[in-house]
């Protein structure tokens, strides 16, 4: 798949000017070429982090070797010693390399990543297949729990970006791509982005943007984790680049991504039985500040009661199908969670019990230093035994992880994350009821179908390579299970113990980057190579509800097995 036009065994002579393929991920110090010195000194720092760049051969290749030192068929493994001739190099901190210092400029390069300055017959080398603009964190790196995030780590980390670039882009396209990285550490950096300059530097047949940042409702310098930036500046920059014609392929186009992160879909859609969202209401922060926690909590509970009555009193969703804890009118019904949108790693989800507890939870999240969120979500309690986290890739369920939190601390925050395989979840959380687990899986599969159709409403023209749909599951009777939507988790989700997750997800993301004008036959074949995920489903990625691993036969079987008196809405929900 490599694009070098000379044979990997063609000799190169000392002093010859060539092009070498540079990858920042292979540089232990993270330097990259910048157009001028000021591109590396001023913020945001912008440069090409994967690209062909000129160099001069420092030593004849192949070098003189004693007979028998290396087999002829292994000669291509011997690197080429070159000196970079580009004068301006920087890292994300603005530190520069000295172009006159051999230790800064002389490097060893794989023979397959060296090509002549001009191809055979003259002219110019063809442009890259893909130009990718990467907007990424340029501040102090963070520490992440890779045991929970998985081997690719968190989506704002260099580990995650390098895994995507090395395994998907380089692993599939070879040297036929380029990346332009924009390193930011504040809202001011995002405000300075200039689309004409970025687009003018992108030479590829296909162009895309990827944003490896976490937008939050936190002011600059108050976020508690690396990679967090104010949501206002984040979406302003994304909208600016999208309006200039640069499509967002990671995580999602701005309209969809804003909806997913803001979580307002939970209050907007909770009256639709098929989507199985617990009753949810929105509390304006101004009311909380002006009226106080007690008054606001009482009003939120009253609103939640009205929504609950409407939700479970709808035709096709009789009240007796609702989880008993939501309709019995006792103390158990006065439980739930308060959530903040644009939050990460379950940090801003607070459990509450009773009106006083709700008031305390609202105050706890509203009083976060630097938080400028205008509203909070109050959601009903749903009894559950565990969470089923289903990874949907190319419109089809690809893998499920089963997890739970062991306890809730005195302040209402969940603690002690645990994960099980399917057998462990069946044993520990479903009383070994095989029928109940199968019932839950059928309901989850149908729920995913409904969500994939809804996603078409939010994203009609762009592919949705992957997302994770998290469901709350509880065994309610022999062979029966209750399922509710917990979360729609955007690209960048934790892959946990899913070992094949990075390959599957990143292949789908790469394929989506060729969707701007559509891939050629050659490009489609390249993307469909070993491990490729070229088919993003009907309608450009969501599958339009099609392709999910649930058949009409399984739906009919589920309906036929319904207990007496249970509405057929169970088969639709």
Parallel/antiparallel/unpaired status of strands 17-23 and 114-116: antiparallel
Give the confidence band of 321 by pLDDT, cuts at 50, 70, 90.
low
In a domain, 46, yes or no: no
- Looking at residue 229, its pLDDT comes to 95
In a domain, 43, yes or no: no
Residue 533 has pLDDT above 50, yes or no: no
**Contact of 352 with 293, CB cutoff 8 Å:** no
Domain boundary among 119, 153, 172: 119
Same domain, 207 and 296: no
In a domain, 5, yes or no: no
- Looking at residue 313, its pLDDT comes to 76
| DSSP designation for 96 | B
Domain boundary among 220, 246, 272: 246
In a domain, 3, yes or no: no
- Looking at residue 529, its pLDDT comes to 76
Name residue, tokens 């309690």. Answer: 381
In a domain, 234, yes or no: yes
Give the confidence band of 72 by pLDDT, cuts at 50, 70, 90.
low
Give the confidence band of 223 by pLDDT, cuts at 50, 70, 90.
low
Task: Tell me the C-alpha distance between 54 and 61, whole Å.
Answer: 17
Same domain, 456 and 346: no
Same domain, 14 and 87: yes
Residue 379 has pLDDT above 50, yes or no: yes
**Contact of 466 with 510, CB cutoff 8 Å:** no
Same domain, 372 and 388: no
Return the structure tokens found at 321: 């199908």
Neighbours of 556 (CB within 10 A): 11
Cis peptide before 368 (omega within 30 of 0): no
On the 0-12 / 13-18 / 19+ scale of CB atoms within 10 A, 497 is middle
Distances from the Cα of 311 to the Cαs of 315, 323, 416, 552, in angstroms?
9, 12, 33, 27
- Looking at residue 146, its pLDDT comes to 77
Task: Tell me the C-alpha distance between 335 and 352, whole Å.
Answer: 6
Distances from the Cα of 267 to the Cαs of 277, 456, 487, in angstroms?
9, 19, 12
- Looking at residue 328, its pLDDT comes to 46
Give 333 or 458, the one with higher predicted confidence: 458
Distances from the Cα of 497 to the Cαs of 147, 310, 494, 529, in angstroms?
8, 39, 9, 25
Same domain, 398 and 364: no
End-to-end alpha carbon distance in the chain: 47
Name residue, tokens 């002579």. Answer: 13
Residue 540 has pLDDT above 50, yes or no: no
Give the confidence band of 543 by pLDDT, cuts at 50, 70, 90.
very low
In a domain, 318, yes or no: yes
Same domain, 318 and 407: no
In a domain, 147, yes or no: yes
Same domain, 480 and 445: yes
Question: 159: part of which helix (H) or strand (E)?
Answer: helix 158-163
Residue 179 has pLDDT above 90, yes or no: yes
Give the confidence band of 142 by pLDDT, cuts at 50, 70, 90.
confident
**Contact of 249 with 234, CB cutoff 8 Å:** no
Q: Quick one: three-class SS letters along 194-262? A: CHHHHHHCCCCCEEEEEEECEEECECCCCCCCCCEEEHHHHHHHHHHHHHCCCCEEECCCHHHHHHHHH
Neighbours of 268 (CB within 10 A): 13
Distances from the Cα of 245 to the Cαs of 206, 239, 242, 512, in angstroms?
12, 10, 5, 16
- Looking at residue 564, its pLDDT comes to 31
CA max distance for the chain: 88
Give the confidence band of 318 by pLDDT, cuts at 50, 70, 90.
low
Per-residue pLDDT tens for 493-521? 999 999 999 999 999 999 999 999 999 99
Same domain, 400 and 513: yes
Neighbours of 512 (CB within 10 A): 25
Residue 536 has pLDDT above 50, yes or no: no
**Contact of 117 with 53, CB cutoff 8 Å:** no
Average pLDDT along the chain? 87
Task: Tell me the C-alpha distance between 471 and 484, whole Å.
Answer: 5
In a domain, 345, yes or no: yes
Residue 195 has pLDDT above 90, yes or no: yes
Tally of domains within the chain: 4
Same domain, 518 and 390: yes
Domain boundary among 347, 365, 382: 382
Per-residue pLDDT tens for 82-137? 999 999 999 999 999 999 999 999 999 999 999 999 887 778 999 999 999 999 99
Please count the residues of the chain: 573
What percent of the chain is modeled with pLDDT above 70? 86
Question: At 81, is the secondary structure helix, strand, or coil?
Answer: strand
What percent of the chain is modeled with pLDDT above 90? 73
Task: Tell me the C-alpha distance between 257 and 458, whole Å.
Answer: 9
Task: Tell me the C-alpha distance between 405 and 412, whole Å.
Answer: 12
Give the confidence band of 314 by pLDDT, cuts at 50, 70, 90.
low
- For residue 234, give its domain range: 126-246
Give 463 or 476, the one with higher predicted confidence: 476
Q: Considering only 77-91, 420-434, 556-570, which range has the smallest mean pLDDT?
A: 556-570
Same domain, 195 and 216: yes
Same domain, 132 and 206: yes
Per-residue pLDDT tens for 249-262? 999 999 999 999 99
Same domain, 105 and 152: no
- C-alpha angle 278-280-282 in degrees, rounded to nearest 5: 165
């Amino acid at each position: 798949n490599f694009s070098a036009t000379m044979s990997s065994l063609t000799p190169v002579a000392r002093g010859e000017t060539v092009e070498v393929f540079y990858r920042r991920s292979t540089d232990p110090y993270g330097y990259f070429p910048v157009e001028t010195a000021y591109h590396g000194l001023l913020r945001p720092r912008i440069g090409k982090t994967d690209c062909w760049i000129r160099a001069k051969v420092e030593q004849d290749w192949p070098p003189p070797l004693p007979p028998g030192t290396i087999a002829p068929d292994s000669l291509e493994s011997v690197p080429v010693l070159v000196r970079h001739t580009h004068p301006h190099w920087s890292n994300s901190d603005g530190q520069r390399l000295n172009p006159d210092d051999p230790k800064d400029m002389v490097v060893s390069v794989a023979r397959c990543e060296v090509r002549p300055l001009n191809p055979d017959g003259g002219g110019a080398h063809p442009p890259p297949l893909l130009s990718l603009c990467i907007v990424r964190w340029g501040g102090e790196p963070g520490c992440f729990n890779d045991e929970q995030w998985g081997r690719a780590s968190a989506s704002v980390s260099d580990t995650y970006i390098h895994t995507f670039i090395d395994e998907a882009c380089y692993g599939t396209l070879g040297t036929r791509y380029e990346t332009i990285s924009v390193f930011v550490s504040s809202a001011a950096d995002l405000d300075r982005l200039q689309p004409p300059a970025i687009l003018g530097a992108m030479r590829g047949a296909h162009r895309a943007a990827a944003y490896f940042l976490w937008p939050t409702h936190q002011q600059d310098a108050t976020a508690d984790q690396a990679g967090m930036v104010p949501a206002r500046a984040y979406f302003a920059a994304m909208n600016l680049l999208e309006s200039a014609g640069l499509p967002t392929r990671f995580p999602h186009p701005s309209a969809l991504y804003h909806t997913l992160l803001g979580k307002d879909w939970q209050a907007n859609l909770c009256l639709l039985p098929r989507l199985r969202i617990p009753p949810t209401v929105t509390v304006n922060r101004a009311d909380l500040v002006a009226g106080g926690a007690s008054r606001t909590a009482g009003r939120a509970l009253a609103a939640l009661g009205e929504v609950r009555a409407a939700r479970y009193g709808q035709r096709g969703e009789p009240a007796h199908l609702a989880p008993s804890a939501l309709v019995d009118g006792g103390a158990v019904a006065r439980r739930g969670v308060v959530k903040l949108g644009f939050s990460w790693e379950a940090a801003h989800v607070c459990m509450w019990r009773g009106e006083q507890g709700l008031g305390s939870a609202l105050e706890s999240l509203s009083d976060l230093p630097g938080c400028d969120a205008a509203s909070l979500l109050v959601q009903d309690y749903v009894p559950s035994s565990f969470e089923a986290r289903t990874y949907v890739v190319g419109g089809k369920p690809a893998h499920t992880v089963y997890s739970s939190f062991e306890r809730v601390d005195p302040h209402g925050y969940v603690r002690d994350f645990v994960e099980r395989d399917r057998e462990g979840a069946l044993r520990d959380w479903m009383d070994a009821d095989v029928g109940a687990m199968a019932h839950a899986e059928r309901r989850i599969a149908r729920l995913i179908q409904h969500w994939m159709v809804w996603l078409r409403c939010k994203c009609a023209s762009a592919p949705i390579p992957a997302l994770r749909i998290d469901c709350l599951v509880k065994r309610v009777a022999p062979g029966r299970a209750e399922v509710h939507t917990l979360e729609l988790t955007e690209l960048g989700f934790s892959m946990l113990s899913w070992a094949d997750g990075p390959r599957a997800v990143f292949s789908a993301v790469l394929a989506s980057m060729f969707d701007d004008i559509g891939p050629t036959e050659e490009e489609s074949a390249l993307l469909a190579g070993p491990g490729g995920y070229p088919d993003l489903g009907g309608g450009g990625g969501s599958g339009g509800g099609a392709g999910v691993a649930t058949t009409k036969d399984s739906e009919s079987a589920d309906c036929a097995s319904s207990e007496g008196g249970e509405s057929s809405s169970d088969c639709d929900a």
